[in-house]
A and B are shown apart, each in its own frame.
Chain A
Amino acid sequence: NAGVTQTPKFQVLKTGQSMTLQCAQDMNHEYMSWYRQDPGMGLRLIHYSVGAGITDQGEVPNGYNVSRSTTEDFPLRLLSAAPSQTSVYFCASSYAVVLGDYGYTFGSGTRLTVV
C-alpha cells in the first residue's frame, strides 16, 4: 500500500540540464497533478491530468512538460533547468475527477536545486 511515490527525493541540477521527476500511484486514481512549493507562495499547480492521455496546464506551466500514458504514472519533465525552478515538487492524486471528500493524496516530495 505505497500510495503516491515520488523519485528522486533530492536532486541538484546545473542550469540548462534536463531531467524527469517521477510520480507513481497504486490506488487506481484517475486524477493526478504536480505542484511546486516555495516559501511564502504556498502550493502552485503546474500541470494536471484527469485520466490517461489527458493533461492540462495549471497556474505555472512554463518550463515543464507532462504526459500520462498510464493511469499509474505522471512524470514531470524539466526541459532546460533554471535557478527559478529551485523548489520542492509534490505530486498528488485523487480518486475523483470532480473534487469530493476523497481529497488529494500527496507524495513526500522532491527537493530540486538548480545551480
Chain B
Amino acid sequence: QQQVKQSPQSLIVQKGGISIINCAYENTAFDYFPWYQQFPGKGPALLIAIRPDVSEKKEGRFTISFNKSAKQFSLHIMDSQPGDSATYFCAAGINKLIFGTGTLLAVQP
C-alpha cells in the first residue's frame, strides 16, 4: 500500500551539480507535500514544503516543483554541496503524513 512513490533510491552528484528527486502520489485529496532531510543517526527534519495551489516554491538552493495534473512533485537541489549528502524523504497527506521510501544522496567533492 505505497501511496507515495519516490525515485531514485540513490543518487550520486558532483559538487556544484543539480540533484533531482521525484515523487508521485495517488490520493488526489492530499494537500500538503513536504520534503524531509535525514542525516545518519538523526531524525528527519523538515526541509521545504508546498501546497497544491502553487507550482513551485524556492528556499535558497532548494526548490519544489509541483504538477497537480500528473500527481507528481520533485525536489531540486541547486549547486549541490558535500554537506547536502543525506537521505531525503518526500511525503504527502491531509491530516497525517505518508512518506516515500527515501533517496540516499551522495555529493562528491
Contacts and interface: CB of A to CB of B under 8 A. Distances in A.
Nearest to A111: B41
Interface residues of B, number: 26
B39 to A, nearest CB: 11
A64 B20 CA distance: 36
Contact of A98 (B36, B44, B45, B95): B95
Interface residues of A, number: 26
Interface in A11-55: 33, 35, 40-45, 48, 50
A106 B44 contact: yes
Contacts, number: 59
B32 A100 contact: yes
Interface string A85-111: 000001010000111110110111100
Given A50-B95, A106-B44, 9 more contacts: A42-B6, A42-B99, A42-B102, A43-B102, A98-B95, A99-B97, A103-B46, A106-B43, A106-B45
